[in-house]
Amino acid sequence: MLLEVRHLDCYYGQSQALKEINIEVEEGECICILGANGAGKSTLLKTIAGLMKPRRGEIWFTGKRMDELPAYTIVREGITLCPEDKKIFPQMSVYKNLCLGAWIHGRKEERIKANLEHVYELFPILKERSDQDAGTLSGGEQQMLVIGRSLMSNPRLLMLDEPSLGLAPMVVNSIFETIKEINARKTTVLLVEQNASMALKIATRGYVIESGRITMAGTAEELLKNEKVKKAYLGI
Amino acid sequence: MGILLQTLINGIMLGSVYAMVALGLTLIYGILNVPNFVHGTLYMIGAYIAYFAIVSFGAPYWVGLIVSLIILFAIGILLERIVFRPFYDKPLINSFIVAVGLILVLENTALSLWGPEFRQFAAPSDKVIKVMGVMITAQRIIVIVTAAVLIWLVHLFIKKTRLGSAIEATSQNPDGALLMGINISHMRGITFGIGTALAAVAAVLVGPILLIYPAMGHTVIGMAFVIIIIGGMGSFIGAVLGGYIIGILETLVTSYITNFFTEAIIFGLLVLLLAVRPTGLFGKPH
Ligand SMILES: Nc1ncnc2c1ncn2[C@@H]1O[C@H](COP(=O)(O)OP(=O)(O)O)[C@@H](O)[C@H]1O
Ligand SMILES: [Mg+2]
């Protein structure tokens, strides 16, 4: 098992955002998490990434306990998050943003250069814009930067929080194509989406989260056929 | 003409001091989002440390400067860790109260240990250089050149080194930096150290020209806050340019208009500027 989330409870002050969450992810899978606005999807990813601490429960990754580690060490273990609000460094160049993504590689210049080539290959526009401040990019380009930056650390588990949010349909398609390609190259993906039809196209399995609880789990096909999912998330 | 040139050189010298102190303050503000009110007090401690190194231990001037720089760098790191770190997630008023308490403790300690009397240490060179009929002391040139070199080095450090990028990233988006695996507490500590060391060096540079006493940081810190507000809170270029502008302006006003209302005039300018540009000259609009 690559990632195991056990009985996770998370709170914002007094209000509980996650209740008894259990999730398992195998190496190489592409898992999607569906849920309405406010269901707790971002909270779950932020907790796995270490930005929030759970009140109860455990997170295990490659047999190691994660939830007790400080946030900045999680990425060293192989987990990266592309957050919903992007968290780019707006007054730094695209190139510097990408290099910061490889922070954990220290001074391994060769490796960083190879990763940079790979990212520029996936997103040629980032190469064109490499000297521009990240804050001047369009929404779609920023999303590409966020994904590119997270690949710079060679993650084993890539978590994406609503990468389609606010983007034009054309851009969404190409982002999803890229996610599929990243997954095909052996990076495990944990994808949070409200755009369920797109997510279930590339996912192998999925979970549905409602008001902080997992209410359904299954293969992508099962979820696509499920009446409740059809109604609530696919708009059919 | 001669007097104007003399005044301008004095203005650039004062501006060099302001620029360094304000740069330290703005770096710390940029990464901690805390106005560091203790900055002026640390400036004073920097001056005393050099004074004791030079006068009591007979160290050469430059050794005194470096000793003060290193000790204040370490004090900055310690202060961030012990005094400011516990309050990041708390309302600003907490760290404000802590800062005021710290100022009282440090300044009263200085007062009771070293007394209220004015002190001074000798400049490394008492040469006087004559340029276009104006006498310039070597120390003024030392202040101006050293400040410019140090400001340039800090700029290079932030823009060209790995550690510098991590510091910049932490000040632009701390959570983003955490996600990259950057230990943001370290970055805050290092930045606090650098900012404090800049204040110390500024104090040691003007030590032979101005006087050393426990309350010497008060006017400087007041001006430094005006400068970083004018320059835009957290802006590097704003603090440096603002420092030189205010230094020159203050000297011009004092020698040509009046030396009674200098601060009032400068504060007036600040209010005027903020009315037109609420984020300061180089501040980022929110
Ligand atoms: N910073 C916060 N402070 C307090 N409550 C929050 C915060 N962020 C999210 N919440 C609450 O936690 C719940 C889950 O939010 P979130 O994980 O962002 O949902 P989702 O990503 O599925 O839209 C929501 O009820 C939301 O209002
Ligand atoms: Mg969300």
CA distances from B57 to A44, B49, B60, B111, B201 (A): 60, 11, 9, 21, 19
- Of the listed ranges B135-149, B150-164, B179-193, B244-258, the least confidently predicted one is B244-258
Percent above pLDDT 70 for chain B: 99
Say what the pLDDT of residue A73 is: 97
Q: Which residue carries 């002190």 as its tokens?
A: B119
What residues of B are in contact with residue A92 (Cβ under 8 Å)? 165, 168-169, 172
Rounded mean pLDDT of B109-113?
Answer: 94
Scanning A50-93, the segments in alpha helix (DSSP H) are 71-77
Does the pLDDT of residue B13 top 60, yes or no? yes
Give the separation between CA B276 and CA A213, rounded to whole angstroms: 51
Q: Write down the pLDDT at residue B265.
A: 82
Hunting for tokens 């990212």 — which residue is that?
Answer: A119
Contact B267, B227 (CB under 8 A): no
pLDDT at position A166: 87
Residue range A1-78+189-236, CATH number: 3.40.50.300
For residue B286, give how far its alpha carbon lies from the nearest alpha carbon of chain A (Å). 13
Identify the pLDDT of residue B144.
97
Q: Residue A14 CA to chain centroid, in angstroms?
A: 27
Nearest CA in chain B to A101: B180
| Average of per-residue pLDDT across B198-225 | 94
| Interfacial residues of B (vs A; Cβ cutoff 8 Å) | 162, 165-166, 168-169, 172-173, 175-184, 284
Walking along chain A (236 residues) 10 residues at a time, the average pLDDT comes out as 96 96 97 95 98 97 96 97 97 98 96 97 96 96 97 97 92 94 96 91 95 96 91 81
Q: How far is the CA of A32 from the centre of ligand 2 (A)?
A: 13
**Cβ neighbours of B166 in A, within 8 Å:** 100, 103
Q: Is the ipTM of this complex over 0.90?
A: yes
User: Which residue's CA is the nearest one to ligand 1's atom 4?
Assistant: A12
pLDDT band for position B89 (cuts 50, 70, 90): confident
pLDDT for residue B213: 95
How far is A10 from A20, CA to CA, in rounded Å? 9
- pTM for the full predicted model: 0.93
Q: Where are the domains of chain A?
A: 1-78+189-236
pLDDT of residue B285: 59
pLDDT value of residue A116: 98
Beta strand A205-210 with A213-219 is antiparallel
Q: pLDDT value at position A201?
A: 92
The whole-number pLDDT of residue B145 equals 97
What's the pLDDT at B50?
97
B chain contacts of residue A101, beta-carbon cutoff 8 Å: 180
> In testing the pocket of ligand 1, which one of A10, A15, A162, A233 has its CB within 8 Å of the most ligand atoms?
A15
Contact B181 A153 (CB under 8 A): yes
pLDDT at B91 over 90: no
